[in-house]
Amino acid sequence: MPERTGPNAGDDAADRVERQVAEQIAPSPEFLARVAAVRSELVRRVEAAARARSSPLVRALVAGSAARGTFLTDRLDVDLFLLFPPDLSRDRLREEGLALGNAVLTHPETRYAEHPYLRGEFEGFRVDAVPGFAVTDPSAPLSAVDRTPFHQEYLARRETPDIVSQVRLAKQFFRALGVYGSEAKTEGLSGYLVELLILRFGSLRALLAAARTWRVPVRLAEPGAEPPRLPSDVALILADPVDPHRNVASALSRRNLSLVILGASAYLARPSAAWFEPRPRTALSRAGALEVVGTRASHVTVVLLPRPDLVDDTLYPQVRKAEHAIADEIARSGFEVLGSSSLVAADRVLVLVEVAHAERSAVRRQDGPPPGLDRVGNFLGKWTAPGAPILQGPYLRPDGSLGVETRRAERDVESVLRSALPRLALGKDLTPSDPHRAEVRPLAEVPDSPALADALGELLAKRLPWLDRS
């Protein structure tokens, strides 16, 4: 850890905590030796299988945290990359990658990302066998994994044993905070990003000391060297050292970076081992939620959609899009939206929205033109005709325009949402082909389930996670 000047009681406490946690999460020398042996044997077996089938494999390597020792023992996956000539067709890449994976892994399962890969077991370890292209320029990859060998080389040359220990400590800290993982489900910090941050700042403590002063969006790229074409909602900008056109932190959400910033300040003020202990997400039973809603005098409506057969990285962005579309429609329809949440269950997608009132006013105000326009005659004719469904008017408003008040046909939030749902853009795979497969119910009519409890906890039990730490 970098030398500090003027240590105080807080530094001493943090030293003790971090030393204790680092020792607890460090893999034993025997385990590291076993991982190293498995890496070597895995590559040897794949190369033998490639020779046996005259496969055009250029290189096989184990990369990532398993290769550098920066893994958390209970989250260790071995990533085996199978790199083929850049001019190989995508179909042949898939064919050869799956064939070689099947040759060395037991209990293989085909998974899907940019292209199919295999997940299986090898000598007691879970292994992902991922095909890619053996490119020579990491700034011109042909697939998402082609930069991996360059990442491996860059980090392996720079990471000392102290840096490796600090990387593990940082991963455990972010994991306990709930922001470790770049998959779409989490929108957090990738392992590669954590390693780059520790290399940049030298230790978890130094990283957190810097982070507590950040304001979103955070720019760690050199001036004038930011990756191009950044989205407007970017949270953190850090150029990939092997490809300056790529933002390493593109998956990190603003909410999660804000959680890191606040958590950094709180940890440095009161360090304890509890900061490194993952906590289960807060769940709230339907009965408990109804009690909370009763106290708040609010209302929760639940949308139940069929779950499409998609990989998580494709599904979760659509789920968030659906949540935003539903909440926005409810707000546009005249309800005060207090919050929303979503959750993916085994067979359903749940979207929950809390509104201040279950029903909106029966009165709907219709705007009319000011006097002097041709449209005045049509407006008055429509709303003075016998049987026109008006509650009041036509009348003049203080600004001189005409207005009328009509009676709304639908008042409760569920009825309004049922009518609107077929025309909402929920995501191309979430919008049911049969509108009847989408259900909209008040919370009291939704069966209790673990998935519902998790979604209710996210909606009605929001609280900074460290406030309950001892």
- What are the counts of helices (DSSP H) followed by strands (DSSP E) for the chain? 14, 16
| Domain boundaries for CATH 3.30.460.10 within the chain | 29-145
Distance CA 118, CA 115 (A): 10
| Helix, strand, coil share of the chain (percent; to 5) | 45, 20, 35
| Domain boundaries for CATH 3.30.70.590 within the chain | 286-359+411-461
Q: What is the pLDDT of residue 5?
A: 42
For the chain, the straight-line distance linking the first and the last C-alpha, in angstroms and rounded, comes to 26
At 122, give phi and psi (nearest 5°): -145, 110
Are the CB atoms for 150 and 242 separated by under 8 Å? yes
* Sign of torsion over alpha carbons 428, 459, 300, 333: negative
Q: What is the pLDDT of residue 224?
A: 65
Q: What is the pLDDT of residue 389?
A: 87
> Per the CATH hierarchy, to which homologous superfamily does domain 286-359+411-461 belong?
Poly(A) polymerase predicted RNA binding domain (3.30.70.590)
29-145 is classed in which CATH architecture? 2-Layer Sandwich (3.30)
User: Cβ of 320: how many Cβ atoms within 10 Å?
Assistant: 16
Q: What are the contacts of 245-251 at 24+ separation with CB within 8 A?
A: 245/139, 246/139, 246/147, 248/190, 248/192, 248/193, 248/196, 249/189, 249/193, 251/182, 251/183, 251/184, 251/187, 251/188, 251/190
Q: What is the pLDDT of residue 231?
A: 80
Distance CA 107, CA 87 (A): 31
The per-residue pLDDT for range 214-262, each reduced to its tens digit, is: 999 999 977 666 777 778 789 999 999 999 989 999 999 999 999 999 9
Q: What is the pLDDT of residue 4?
A: 44
Are the CB atoms for 256 and 179 separated by under 8 Å? yes
Predicted TM-score (pTM) of the model is 0.89
> Per the CATH hierarchy, to which homologous superfamily does domain 158-276 belong?
CCA tRNA nucleotidyltransferase, domain 2 (1.10.1410.30)
User: Cβ of 209: how many Cβ atoms within 10 Å?
Assistant: 15
Per-residue pLDDT of the chain (470 residues; tens, 9 = 90+): 444 444 455 688 999 999 999 999 999 999 999 999 999 999 999 999 999 999 999 999 999 999 999 999 998 999 999 999 999 999 999 999 999 999 999 999 998 878 899 999 999 999 999 999 999 999 999 999 999 999 999 999 999 999 999 999 999 999 999 999 999 999 999 999 999 999 999 999 999 999 999 999 999 977 666 777 778 789 999 999 999 989 999 999 999 999 999 999 999 999 999 999 998 889 999 999 999 999 999 999 999 999 999 989 999 999 999 999 999 999 999 999 999 999 999 999 999 999 999 999 889 898 999 998 888 999 999 999 998 889 999 999 999 999 999 988 889 999 999 999 999 989 889 988 777 789 999 999 999 999 999 999 999 999 999 997 64
